[in-house]
Structure 1
Amino acid sequence: MKKKEVYVMNKEPSRSELNKNRLRPHFPKWSSYRVNALGAADQLITRHLEYHALGITSEQKQQAYQALFRTHLTPETLHEVRTALNSELVTGTDRFKTEIERALGRRLQPKPRGRPRKPSDINLPKERHDEQLSFVENL
């Protein structure tokens, strides 16, 4: 499998801080936001190729990165992401989910609800299934 990188942008601190104080977004010290959006120096942060593709100058890259955090998630998307995080599942396309499951060697999608169907129920023609039901009802 080809090596891929997965990026997660945590918007929760900025959303809660903006709602409470109407201030500029606040990010924890460990966040790369200060480096990527504000140009702060930090030897622990390595900028990704995607960051460098955001613009030519440092200012262009910083402005483009800041714009990523100005977008709003729909309530549906936010619910999907929160549900996935709380359940230790993955959100994204089915193909993406399958790739991540394969890479980690564990299930990251919800299991189908209910008991698995019996093989006899699946392969029976409708008439035979109805016969079985009427037989059971007559007992």
Structure 2
Amino acid sequence: MVLDPAGYKWSSYPTNALGVKSTLCCAHRVYLSLGKTETERMKAYRALFETEISQTLIGNIQYCSKKELVLGNNKFKQQIENLTGIALKNERLGRPPQNEG
């Protein structure tokens, strides 16, 4: 995708992290909870992007997106099932088992 989240044209990052005004974005309640002032919220939002995501996690996200799977622990998956009323596919992530024989 992009190395800097501000470089992705469909991202709300410039608005939420840098204060760029937009007629397309409005502040979400979760974003508003990041701080009492706009400066505090922008700083907290930028901090969310400081941790590098491992290649393994990126691969899992891509795999689950393509297969339309929920990515998360069992508790999270159960919450999604309860909210949606849809039984989730249970596929194990990682390398497929090697054929024995």
Using the size of structure 1 for normalisation, the TM-score is: 0.54
Deviation at 1:96, TM superposition (A): 1.6
User: Helix, strand or coil: the match of 1:41?
Assistant: coil
**Inter-partner Cα distance in structure 2 for 1:47 and 1:102:** 28
* Residue aligning to 1:81: 61
Q: Give percent identity, aligned residues only.
A: 34
Using the size of structure 2 for normalisation, the TM-score is: 0.70
Q: Do residues 27 (structure 1) and 42 (structure 2) align?
A: no
Deviation at 1:101, TM superposition (A): 2.8
| Aligned pairs, number | 92
* Structure with more of its chain in helix, by fraction: 1
Structure 1: unaligned runs, 5 residues or longer: 1-12, 113-139
* Residue aligning to 2:80: 100
Larger Cα-atom Rg: 1
* Aligned counterparts, 1:94-133, within 5 A: 94-110=74-90
Deviation at 1:57, TM superposition (A): 2.3
AA of the residue aligned to 2:50: R
Question: How big is each residue's C-alpha offset from its partner over 1:102-127, in whole Å with a ceiling of 9 and x where there is no partner?
Answer: 43343433358xxxxxxxxxxxxxxx
AA of the residue aligned to 1:63: K
Deviation at 1:65, TM superposition (A): 0.8
**Inter-partner Cα distance in structure 2 for 1:108 and 1:24:** 31
**Inter-partner Cα distance in structure 1 for 2:47 and 2:53:** 13
Which of structures 1 and 2 has the larger relative contact order (alpha carbons within 8 angstroms, sep 6+)?
2
AA of the residue aligned to 2:68: E
